[in-house]
Structure 1
């Protein structure tokens, strides 16, 4: 159904780009496309209703949410985040090497 819909859209595009526009053919394709869109929506709605009815009659198939408080099973460690920037009052010697100090 979707392939046919795309075919109609392609044909509509082709017909609207021609110098001679076949208005009757364009109207016919537009009507067919509209009908198909309505039919697709109806089928989607029926499918949705069938799924809802199935889940209503089979509650075990429904996704159930639950809460598990398992915080008691974990131990947390706090690790410091070290800065990569040089502090202002640093004891760093910069480019000097230890062997150059008297």
Structure 2
């Protein structure tokens, strides 16, 4: 498909769409204007929703990576605490010498 064919295809589609809207506009201007605005607004709306979905995906990936880092940090600090607990010596007696 050459550049010339794609331009004529898009031009034909735009011409037919505009012609259909104008012919319907004579019969019912309110519905035709709403339809025309919806037709013109669908592409920007699609792009906006696609952008929002991409941002949501990126945000979810960032949250998951931060959660993994937090779990890794918790695991490493738990191992450090276990090692420190092993080094602590038990007391010789459990009774006190003062008091009664």
Provide the TM-score with structure 2 as the length reference: 0.40
More helix by share: 2
TM-score, normalising length: structure 1: 0.39
The higher-RCO structure (CA 8 Å, 6+ apart) is: 1
